[in-house]
Amino acid sequence: MSPHGPKGATRRGPICAAEASGSTGAPEAPSRYLPRPLTELHDHLRERLLAATTALGLDRAAAAPLVRLDPPKNREHGDVALGAFQLAKLAGKAPPALAGELAAAITADDVIESAVAAGPFVNFRFRRAALARAVLTAVQTDAAPYGRAPASGQVVCIDFSSPNIAKPFHIGHMRSTVLGNSLCRIHRHLGAVVHGINHLGDWGMPFAKMMTAYMHWGNEQELHRSPMRYMFDLYKRYGQEVKEHPALDDEAAAHFRALESGADNQERRMWQLLRDESLQAFQGPYQRLGVTFDHVIGESFFEDKMEAAMARVKAAGVLENSDGAEVVWLKELGIKEPCLLRKSDGATLYHTRDLAAAFYREDTFHPDRILYVVGAEQKLHFDQLKGVLTKMQEPIAKAIEHVPFGLVLSKTEDGKWEKFASRSGNAVFLDEILDEAVAKVRAIIREKNPDLPDADQTAEQVGVSAIVFNDLKNSRIKDVKFDWESMLNFDGETGPYVQFACARLSSILRKVEVPVPAPGQVDFTLLADAERVLLVMLDFGTAVQRAAEQSEPSIVTAHTIALAGEIHSYLRDHYVIGAEPAVRDARLLLVDAARRLLTTGLSLLGIAAPERM
RNA sequence: GCGCCCGUAGCUCAGUUGGAUAGAGCGACGGCCUCCGAAGCCGUAGGUCAGAGGUUCGACUCCUCUCGGGCGUACCA
């Protein structure tokens, strides 16, 4: 598209021409890193270790942060491992020597089965019964971290989805929507107060361009018939016509100034019409994706709040005039490009509204973190936003955190990957993708499970999950390769795979015809053979915690895949129904816990867990 | 030009913030349904972690440079 074609997919649009943005977040605020949610097993072991190091003459406070218990690289080594490197340094001993002393000091008890030194490492094993009891009891009673944590006092604002609403909702919008939705759920699970905010792009030049297109070629009947598609057509037409008639952009700029004048004019009415139609059209995709917002506050909301924000910038003494525009220079912060807050024609900009929004969020929500789930190509934008607030010495600056993600790429004829743009109109509508996936699932159900009740609803859940899961599977910074074949392949590490595990577990619980026993009635020594499943479960809390710290839902995704895999393997050789009662009951508790945890994991991703499929 | 991101098996990706012998899925090949769901399980093959230096007890991970790909770079969002 032309550099200024109406490209924006999202306000923070991956498809818009220029921009950049944000700090990757985390680095400068280590304080937000919470202590790992250690289980009671870890707590016990940790206490034993601290007692041992103290007995060896080490200062407890100095040793405590060095006692890091991690899963060993190789499961054969043990359940958890301690690298004695740093502790050895503190003790002034060789790591293998200290490892040997620690291993000797940690004698077996009713939780710890063994402590074995292996070179500079100490490998620990929990007693199988203790492992099973601790994990399954906690899961069954919905205790954190398996269940939702009590209120933590942390407040997190999450700015996500934020589409330019004068545009069709297509594949490019999905990432921010799906990632943000999952982050909302993850933070809530950890006890934070979450404000999920849809910062609609309902202001500014892209909107003015759509308005201009509509004024030239628009037809209200057509608009009402299919708003999204119709606006997409207008959008494409503008992009083509502006190449031959660059004056269209000037016209759009004039319309925007007229809109911003606040007068009750043609522009204002047009804005209202297009906004209403778009917003309406967006409800479909949001509903299918199971996405909800706590606040739908578009850029237009800040129309009357920008002057106050500008006054604040001016009062801070950081605003300068440059070629008639009002800017803030950020060279001392290592940013060469100035942050423009007002154009020379007096109009406001993207930054102006984000600045006003930051102040508004600060006053209204008092957030500890404000996450902007926006494409990586806007890194500079958020670096600048944070930079301006930093230069103003505003405390809210430290809360600003860009959560960048990669582009959506499509495959070209010659097999290369290229940016998925609305470009030549090759945009794929989200609804089409979801429909395709759902249809495929429906066909599979017809073949494998023809008697399934509510087959259509289930197909919807499974099909949508395949698409959503695909977006949350890899690190968000990776580009997503949009490929029909792999997206419609439900084998292996996919949403349907994890859902299938849930359905299989539900099926067992349904058919066994005895209730799941209370944890107190189970002989946990009978679950020694389930260690692999239990050890994965033990990692759940850490996974969710890390996902929140790093704003990385894929960590949760990976955990659900791992748990689904282990339970599938376990069930191959361990029957529940037909086993002798004590064994059956123990396995029943395990099966129920696995089902609960998988369901929770999927829910953190915004994915449903049907009981049958 | 400058800044940032990415580079791990044929393909798509993990690798728990510097730890032990680099792991999965897809695809390929070979097995497993008279037994709780085969959208599943088990196995085989497949690697100079882009390359070169450096930091140290130890580097896929941190630093420098090079190569390759991508994104961005003041009045668009």
Between CA A573 and C1' B37 the distance (Å) reads 15
Domain A26-32+152-408 of CATH type 3.40.50.620: yes
- The torsion angles phi and psi of A373, rounded to 5 degrees, stand at -85, 90
Give the nucleotide nearest to A571 (CA→C1').
Answer: B36
All CATH 1.10.730.10 domain ranges of chain A, comma separated, are 461-604
Give the nucleotide nearest to A495 (CA→C1').
Answer: B39
Q: A442: Cβ–Cβ under 8 A, 6 or more apart, which residues?
A: A455, A456, A459, A463
For strand A193-198 and strand A295-296, is the pairing parallel, antiparallel, or unpaired?
parallel
A338-350 residue pLDDT tens: 999 999 989 899 9
Look up the protein residue whose alpha carbon has the minimum distance to the C1' of B73: A337
Between CA A435 and C1' B39 the distance (Å) reads 18
Closest CA to A282 of A198, A195, A157, A194: A198
For strand A155-159 and strand A193-198, is the pairing parallel, antiparallel, or unpaired?
parallel
Q: What is the pLDDT of residue A421?
A: 58
Q: Are A520 and A466 in contact (CB under 8 A)?
A: no
Query: Class of A461-604 per CATH?
Result: mainly alpha
Look up the protein residue whose alpha carbon has the minimum distance to the C1' of B21: A74
Q: What is the mean pLDDT of residues A230-240?
A: 84
The structural architecture, per CATH, of the domain A40-140 is 2-Layer Sandwich (3.30)
C-beta contacts of A343-351 below 8 A and 24+ residues apart: A345/A253, A345/A257, A346/A257, A347/A253, A347/A256, A347/A257, A347/A260, A348/A260, A348/A306, A349/A204, A350/A11, A350/A19, A350/A204, A350/A381, A351/A381, A351/A384, A351/A385, A351/A388
Q: Are A87 and A98 in contact (CB under 8 A)?
A: yes
Cβ burial of A549 (10 Å; 0-12, 13-18, 19+) is middle
A259-290 residue pLDDT tens: 888 888 888 998 888 888 888 888 889 999 99
Give the nucleotide nearest to A342 (CA→C1').
Answer: B75
A5-33 residue pLDDT tens: 333 456 665 333 222 233 333 333 333 44
Look up the protein residue whose alpha carbon has the minimum distance to the C1' of B58: A85
Q: Which positions of chain B lie under 7 Å from any protein Cβ? A: 2-6, 12-17, 19-21, 23-27, 35-42, 57-58, 70-77
Give, as one character, the DSSP assignment of residue A201: B
All CATH 3.40.50.620 domain ranges of chain A, comma separated, are 26-32+152-408
Query: Is pLDDT at A1 greater than 80 in this prediction?
Result: no
Query: Is pLDDT at A295 greater than 70 in this prediction?
Result: yes
Residue that wins the pLDDT comparison between A550 and A243: A550
| Complex ipTM value | 0.96
All CATH 3.30.1360.70 domain ranges of chain A, comma separated, are 40-140
Between CA A493 and C1' B44 the distance (Å) reads 21
Q: How far is CA A275 from CA A13, A165, A281, in A?
A: 17, 7, 10
